Structure 1
Amino acid sequence: MNTPTDFRCGTVAIVGRPNVGKSTLLNHILGLKLSITSRKAQTTRHRLLGIHTTEDTQFLFVDTPGFQQKHINALNKSLNKTVTQVLTEVDVVLFVIEPMHLGDADRKVLALLPKDKPVLLVVNKLDLMGDKGNILPLIQDFDLEFPFIEIVPVSAKKNLNIDELLKSIRQHLPEQAAIYGADELTDRNERFLAAELLREKAFRFLGDEVPYGIAVEIEKFEMEGKLRRIHAAFIVDKESQKPMLIGKGGEKLKQISTEARQDMEKLFDGKVWLETWVKVKGGWADDERALKSLGY
């Protein structure tokens, strides 16, 4: 790939407490749905690289799990370790918060932020603020909490101020050639992305109890010409969760699978044949071996 002499390329961590819109922000920057989203905490469980390449810059965004402060089991310890490790490895950090709010959960993430790297405060959900003048005293308060390089208000959902955010990030990236090809969007394979889309739909369609005890295992992923044949198992923690996921006459599982398949076809740009079922693995979220086999 030809790169001009002033080309910049670097890694950018997106961090914050659960549900502040980190994955939505990444998806809007990339212009497609790569990172899964839902209103539930713990939706993002993996470190995910999203690649955004322009004429003079390659942004390597690392979407991290929200820093977990409840249900501290082996899974959540693993998620938190991912966040702290990413912060030591990247060039720039985006600390994402909601407007008019810097709560205890935000402050715990704030305490992890590196003092030796450029950290931008990204105030998301700007569209929800009635009087935009309210943001000025808010910004001044945040400035006292941490030496942010810059404070950028955005709305990931409404695509407001995203270009300004990218300009701000670019200034702090190292001058070097692109690491990935201009058409590459992630370092993750389709097998991983298929499992994530299935887990997202389960999070969206189920009540609060089941999602934290749910994982997805792709047991088979085969290409037949342009058709992808995918066999996937939902892993639940308790026998009582199985009927919740399957639903009456299999309707819930069918709904989850249909929506996930449609998203896969958009993302992979091809037809998908998907078969899903439910398996019970008691205590998987606190079992180191089970977590390893599921990619955590």
Structure 2
Amino acid sequence: MTVESQVNSIENDIFSTLGDVTIPQAPPEFRSGFIGIIGRPNVGKSTLMNYLVGQKIAITSPVAQTTRNRLRGILTTPEAQMIFVDTPGIHKPHHQLGEVLVQNAKIAIESVDVVLFVVDGTSACGAGDRYIFELLYRSQTPVILGLNKIDGQPPNPEKIDESYIQLTENTPWQTVKFSAKTGEGLPHLQQILIENLAPGPYYYPPDLVTDQPERFIMGELIREQILLLTREEVPHSVAIAIDKVEETPSLTRVIATINVERDSQKGILIGKGGSMLKSVGSAAREQIQKLIAGKVYLELFVKVQPKWRHSRIRLAELGYRVEE
């Protein structure tokens, strides 16, 4: 698929999703476009997008490889509309799910207008960063290098910074230092991103912050709590299916299934006397209530799906497909 056809596909998705919603005409000199956030796992891509759009739409955790889907966050200012595409961290895949996620991240590089290559500014450039650099260097898409986590840099970070400067010295790439946690440097980053976008229309209504349906974000908020509460015991073997959402004027009832690969993982998730499942459900319910601004009843079930990460059929059933 060519870049042009990919862009047309994205635009078709947008307008079919928005339906009859009226999008205003952009003022003169208005800029717009898609910005791919690319980088290794756990460099702060999702935290960055959440901060920029001003709302939590992407889950975050200390566990690497948290993001699984290409999630769009939308920031509209008087000058521009920036559609951020948060991608899975690019890493060496160990199963079918990993291959799908990395392939989707690579496709994103060629289907956006600008790439923001995010690196961890608390450590020197490594092999993973150099691998992504080679992918981006061969691409025709403009790239901005972003050194994140400057709030955690040592007192004299010159050696760390220099390792990335040397990496990009033969490129036209701009470099920006910032902290997605504190917001330091983000106004400057935002301005550089706008300058790299071409004049264009509103793709979305100005008050929209994501194009993802609520059901998807509900599932991600449940998965986030599992990542936070179970740490390394279970996280990457989990997929969430939202089975039913029933809305009344006073309550939203959500029924969801947590899919795992082994009986032992099911036992960990349920916990003694159902304690872990109750903790996950309680924390996720609080986050979902913030999302929908209303009262939520959340019911969770746990189901064993052996080796689902290795099966294309199971991956498709759970919503993981190679983007086209």
Q: Same fold by TM (over 0.5)?
A: yes
Asked whether the equivalents of residues 289 and 295 of structure 2 are also in contact (C-alpha less than 8 Å), the reply is yes
> What RMSD, in angstroms, separates the aligned Cα atoms of the two structures?
1.4
SS at match of 1:240: helix
Equivalent of 2:162 in 137, 141, 145: 137
**If the length of structure 1 is used for normalisation, what is the TM-score?**
0.95
What residue is the counterpart of 1:260 in the other structure? 284
Describe how 1:35-114 pairs up with structure 2 within 5 A.
Answer: 35-70=58-93, 72-99=94-121, 100-113=123-136, 114=138
Distance 1:275 1:136 in 2: 48
CA spacing shift, 1:65–1:188, aligned 2, 3 Å: same
What amino acid is aligned across from residue 53 of structure 1 in structure 2? Answer: T
Counting matched residue pairs gives 294
Question: Which one is further off, 268-277 or 17-26?
Answer: 268-277
Asked whether the equivalents of residues 229 and 272 of structure 1 are also in contact (C-alpha less than 8 Å), the reply is yes
Post-superposition offset of 1:140: 2.9
Structure 2 unaligned runs (5+)?
A: 1-23
What residue is the counterpart of 2:40 in the other structure? 17
Deviations 1:67-108 (A, max 9, x none): 1215x2110010011101111100000111012421112222
CA spacing shift, 1:264–1:148, aligned 2, 3 Å: farther
SS at match of 1:180: coil
Post-superposition offset of 1:148: 4.6
Post-superposition offset of 1:58: 0.2
| Runs of 4+ deviating beyond 6 Å | none
What residue is the counterpart of 1:165 in the other structure? 189
Describe how 1:97-246 pairs up with structure 2 within 5 A.
Answer: 97-99=119-121, 100-113=123-136, 114-131=138-155, 134=158, 137-144=162-169, 147-225=171-249, 227-246=251-270
Deviations 1:165-200 (A, max 9, x none): 010011111201111001111111000000000001
SS at match of 1:55: coil
Distance 1:213 1:253 in 2: 16
CA spacing shift, 1:68–1:209, aligned 2, 3 Å: farther
Asked whether the equivalents of residues 63 and 227 of structure 2 are also in contact (C-alpha less than 8 Å), the reply is yes
**If the length of structure 2 is used for normalisation, what is the TM-score?**
0.87
Distance 1:87 1:285 in 2: 24
What amino acid is aligned across from residue 11 of structure 1 in structure 2? Answer: F
Distance 1:136 1:157 in 2: 19
Post-superposition offset of 1:229: 1.1
Distance 2:268 2:176 in 1: 42
SS at match of 2:26: coil
Post-superposition offset of 1:60: 0.3
CA spacing shift, 1:181–1:254, aligned 2, 3 Å: same
